[in-house]
Amino acid sequence: MSSSILRKHRVVALLGAALIVTPLLLSPVLRADAQATLSPVASIVTPGKSFAPIVTADKPAVVTIMSKMQVASSDNNGGSPFERGSPFDEYFRQFFGQRGMPIPQPQPKSQEAEALGSGFIVDPSGLIVTNNHVVEGASEIKVILDDGTELTGTLVGRDAKTDLAVIRVKSDKPLPTIQWGDSDKLQTGDQVLAIGNPFGIGTTVTAGIVSARGRDLHSGPYDDFIQVDAAINHGNSGGPLVDMEGKVVGINSAIYSPNGGNVGVGFAIPSDQAEPVVAKLITSGSIEHGFIGVQIQPVTPDVANALGLSTSSGALIANVTDGSPAAEAGLKTGDIVTGFGGHEIKDPKDLSRAVADVSPGTKEKMTIWRDGKSMDVSISVGNNDNDEKTAETQSSPSQTPDGSYNVPSLGLSLGDIDRQVREALNLSTGEKGAVVVNVNPDKAGGEQGMREGDVILSVNQVPVHNAREASRAVAEAAKSGKKSVLLLVDRGGTQTFVAIPFGRA
């Protein structure tokens, strides 16, 4: 655990891949046996064949998106957290310096930031698809076409859970478009192209292959990312991932990186998931996701054996929220959900996605395993209007194999202060608390300046002695309806309070 605190480079999933341009406050080598014969595979584009025809057809429909937003300071005293010598000074200098970006200077409380992203036109009238995080909170949206034409964009609709948004521009002539493709046909090893505007240098095309399917980045119920090794960088967010027919099979949304740049591990939202969401956003402007009010966890072989299940599949209910649809339906802690709305539930992710796809107010049949037998219950799905994760796995702290505790509501992982940690951080013998062993910079904790090696001494002014206490205290604060949690943090011998809002995990 302590090695993760001391490692030189932090590896993080960057779901906010849009580059903050003026951030005032934010931030084939094949081997075979000697007897084996390798047969050429049809349809693979060989090095001697150009991708130019695909690029020529698709590039005109890819756009650059510039979003302006007002950012309010979290400093309650009116000062700036960037002031030299402040607890956050070193953090922000390292954060922006590593990315080759200007270090923020003290600014008034209300400040303007500008985000850069990409998008692609799906309708000649001017409908453009991009990521939600490219335009979320934007007061002004500017769209730059491939020919350099600048147009004003207006938000048609967005959905934070799928990280998708649709904007519209008005043009005096029909605009070029890209067709949707079939991501379900993609196989690991298929060739793909990523198109977008990384770092604002201009529309760029990179090539690679599908590295994996079904990646879960723990960002929400719809995690089913396509992993690719085509170079994706800041500013590529919202740009299309296209197949060898030139059709959109994904929307570039995230990178996995130790330094903020491309290392060949990028992620895209599958087109078969995105296309119906985009259609709903165009017609209604928003999407309501279902909610039942349970905390769930995987069914391990030991759990299945103890409860008499023949297979270790399903979603184990760890807690039922009082007054929730699940409570009204009579669900209990210890029930295992094996079916929902006619769909088999193999793991917690299946249940999260199935519930989120249901419109609030809909009654569904739920199959559960209780007291050694299977039974059906009827549940009326509620409205997940508080930006909580459906079939919630987030509020309850979960322990990882290395002994740390995940606190998804803040984007933090916490560990106990053992001898190695105490020595590494030069902590006094009697100091107790929870040490931060990992920070997702795109979650609430990272956005408020938390960093690895911070020691949490108290939660909402109640002292905590270890990671379990700290994670439970945060979970209780979230369940109580509080909008934020107040942490007392020891960083390098200096104690400071950090208030972190819930709702962006």
Arithmetic mean of pLDDT, 308-316: 88
Q: Which of 67, 183, 211, 237 is catalytic?
A: 237
Position 299 confidence tier, pLDDT thresholds 50, 70, 90 = confident
Return the pLDDT at 41: 38
- Give yes or no for residue 448 having a pLDDT over 70: yes
Q: Tell whether 133 is in a known binding site.
A: yes
Across the strands, what pairs with 228? 210, 266
pLDDT tens string 263-298: 888 999 999 989 999 999 999 888 888 889 888 888
Q: Which domains does the chain show, CATH number per domain? A: 11-26+49-73+108-287 (2.40.10.120), 77-106 (no CATH), 290-383 (2.30.42.10), 398-501 (2.30.42.10)
Q: Over the stretch 19-45, which tens digit does the pLDDT of each residue have? A: 443 332 223 332 233 333 333 334 445
Q: Which residues contact 188 (CB under 8 A, 6 or more apart)?
A: 209, 210, 211, 212, 213
235 labeled part of a ligand binding site: yes
Considering 58, 133, 146, 416, which one is annotated as catalytic? 133
Helix segments in 347-437, DSSP class H: 348-356, 419-425
% of the chain beyond a pLDDT of 70: 75
Structure confidence at residue 125 (pLDDT): 95
Q: What is the pLDDT of residue 392?
A: 44
Is 133 a catalytic site residue? yes
What is the rounded average pLDDT of the residues 72-100?
Answer: 44
Name the average pLDDT for the chain.
Answer: 79
What's the confidence (pLDDT) of residue 71? 59
Least confident span in 194-208, 214-228, 245-259, 314-328: 214-228
Is 46 a residue whose pLDDT tops 80?
no
Q: Report the relative pairing of strands 290-291 and 405-407 from DSSP bridges.
A: unpaired
Nearest to 128 by CA among 61, 49, 184: 61
Task: Spell out the residues 6+ positions from residue 462 whose beta carbon is closer than 8 angstroms to its own.
Answer: 473
H or E element in which residue 373 lies: strand 373-380
pLDDT, tens digit (0-9, with 9 covering 90-100), for 151-209 = 999 999 998 888 999 999 999 999 999 999 999 999 999 999 999 999 889 999 999 99
| Local structure of residue 341 (DSSP, 8 states) | T
At residue 340 the predicted structure's pLDDT band, cuts being 50, 70 and 90, is very high
What pLDDT does residue 35 have? 32
Coil, strand or helix: which one is 486?
strand
One-character DSSP codes across 35-84 = T--PPPPTTPPPTTS-SHHHHHHHGGGEEEEEEEEEEE---TTS--TTST
At 133-165, the pLDDT tens digits run 999 888 999 999 999 999 999 999 998 888 999
Asked whether residue 48 carries a pLDDT value surpassing 50, the answer given is yes
Q: What pLDDT score does 78 carry?
A: 39
* Residue 395 annotated as catalytic: no
Spatial separation of the C-alpha atoms in residues 109 and 298, rounded to whole Å: 44
Q: Residues 464, 433: contact at Cβ < 8 Å?
A: yes
Helical ranges in 285-365 per DSSP H: 301-307, 325-328, 348-356
Residue 11 is predicted with a pLDDT of: 35
Residue 184 annotated in ligand binding: no
* Spatial contact of 1 and 415, defined as CB atoms under 8 Å apart: yes
pLDDT in tens, 95-130: 444 444 444 444 445 567 788 999 999 999 999 999
Catalytic residue among 58, 146, 159, 163, which?
163
Two tokens at 262?
């491309």
| Most confident segment among 213-227, 392-406, 486-500 | 486-500
Given a cut of 50, whether residue 397 has pLDDT beyond it is yes
Query: Which residues does 505 contact at the CB level (< 8 Å), separation at least 6?
Result: 389, 394, 408, 409, 410, 411, 443, 444
**Catalytic annotation present for 9:** no
